[in-house]
Amino acid sequence: MDALFEPLASALGASVDQIKLIFCLLVAYPLGSLFVRVPSSKPALRHLFNVSVAVAFFFPILRIYSAFFQLLASILATYFIAKYDKSKQMPWRVFFVVMGHLTINHVIRAFNNQSYETVEVTGPQMVLTMKLTTFAWNVHDGRLPASSLDAWQSAKRITTYPSLLAFLGYSFYFPGLLVGPYLDFAEYTELVNESVFKQPDVKSKHNSGRMLPPGRKRAAYMRMVMGLAYLGAFVVLGGSWNYTAALKPDFAQMSFLRRFLLFQTYGPLERSKYYAIWTLTEGASILTGLGFTGFHAQTHQPQWTGAANVIVSRIELPSNFKVLLDSWNMKTNVWLRECVYKRVAVKGKKPGNRVTAITFFTSAFWHGIAAGYYLTFFTGALITSSARLARQSLRPLFLSPSPYASYKPIYDFLATLTSIAILNYTAAPFILSTWSDSIKLYKVLGWYGHIVVVGSLVLFYAGGVRWARGMQRRLGVLQEKGEKGKGGKENASASASASASGAGTPVEEKNMVVPPLDKLVPPPS
């Protein structure tokens, strides 16, 4: 089928692999409409539908035959380990098998010097790794008393072991197969059985003659249009407006202010590829029925936001760095939080540096072995610590009843500008990949990100926190330990879990990683 894609690839200046990948993302839309026409009363047919589409993607279209069989090997290994190993170590055995397999392929890819224009096994394998390890923990939780589990674990636990066909259908769920985001087995089961739409409170709010609430197609194709717009922006402008432009000699000859301002324009265009693929896959997922989150409280219109992996407006115009992190690659962070951070933490004890380090390295190995990734992770960890201290120490000074509350818009404006500048600075090494290019970029930017972040940490730990708490006490806005209130509440999961993939440890439904960006289509979420 390459002959169908070569002319388009030549016209756009992209690789054939990447054109084929975009084709798969777009063809998932009509396939999603076909999927919902398979009766939910026949779940086996829906499982077979997913497997059949996966075979079509990997064989005649992408032509990565070995990748399919490698994924199948991890799937079968997970299925039988989780089924027959009843010990407490079962999820970890699955984790080390599938993560080890992924890491080996990352090393092979690096050894072969394959660019991100090449579509091969590691992309879909990253998504599958999240699925399989989550499944193992869900099975483990299903063997424990419900009273010993938290809310997420109770909702996702698997008490009846699925058939092999159902597991294959879950593993090869086609809208998120190649680039994610992933879904857990409970979500997949609800999707196949359409159990959410059969609930009385849902059926009563829309035409009982239709199983799926209205608005699904409109929501899905709006995502497709948005995704294509993001992709178009990158194709038209991304070739010259990108982070590598900052490495050119003429960039270094500019004044620092001009360098700083110009550099900020590169980030949104680099990220537009991610917005494109995640929005495209979200739309295709919605067409299959995934992502329904109920009805709007005022308008009573169906909401289809549950398959989202990114909130663009909150990333490009964040009120603070925490909001930015909360809105980026959200599904991956659920995996980090639920399958790593919580699992290595000792129950009843506050997670310490060991838990943070383990989660950090898990995220690092999941992404790959390039030096630029680790520079981003390390800087991100410092950013999270600094941002959390700023939120705890400075933000309450601008909240009621403080006499400085009228200045909060200025505080928010400065927080937004700082978050944008720090994001672009931190993301660059992940995109450039190599140590030499990353350090060269830091130098040409005057190390401004490290100066701001490390400098703020020094100030906070050298007495800034003590001064801020004293000011809060005098202004009457100090929240004592254990107290929850306006200005004093720091999200518990944010405090205990800043991103492992770039900012410490994971925060609820958010990933702090800025993944590597290739020339047209990036690797999966």
d(CA 3, CA 514) in angstroms, rounded, equals 34
Contacts of 73 (CB under 8 A, 6+ apart): 101
Q: How many CA atoms are closer than 13 Å to the CA of 288, on its beta-carbon side?
A: 28
Instruction: Write out the two tokens for 162.
Output: 């699925």
| Burial classification of residue 11, based on how many CB atoms lie within 10 Å of its CB (0-12 exposed, 13-18 middle, 19 or more buried) | exposed
d(CA 318, CA 313) in angstroms, rounded, equals 7
With contact defined as beta carbons under 8 Å apart, do 324 and 344 qualify? no
d(CA 293, CA 183) in angstroms, rounded, equals 15
d(CA 27, CA 385) in angstroms, rounded, equals 43
Nearest in space to 100 (alpha carbons), one of 303, 365, 327 = 365
With contact defined as beta carbons under 8 Å apart, do 343 and 137 qualify? yes
> What is the chain's length?
525
With contact defined as beta carbons under 8 Å apart, do 185 and 138 qualify? yes
Tokens 């070739």 correspond to: 239
Nearest in space to 131 (alpha carbons), one of 306, 331, 325 = 331
Tokens 């035959």 correspond to: 65
d(CA 16, CA 93) in angstroms, rounded, equals 38
SS3 assignment, position 107: helix
d(CA 428, CA 242) in angstroms, rounded, equals 10
Residue 182 main-chain phi, psi, to 5 deg: -90, 165
Output the CA–CA distances (angstroms, integers) from residue 364 to 215, 233, 463, in the order listed: 39, 29, 33
Distance of CA 166 to the CA centre of its chain: 25
Respond yes or no: is residue 367 known to be catalytic: yes
In this structure, how many other beta carbons lie within 10 angstroms of the beta carbon of residue 349? 8
Among residues 47, 296, 367, 450, which one is catalytic?
367
DSSP letter, residue 522? -
d(CA 74, CA 498) in angstroms, rounded, equals 30
Output the CA–CA distances (angstroms, integers) from residue 367 to 74, 292, 374, 404, 438, in the order listed: 18, 29, 10, 44, 17
Catalytic residue list: 367
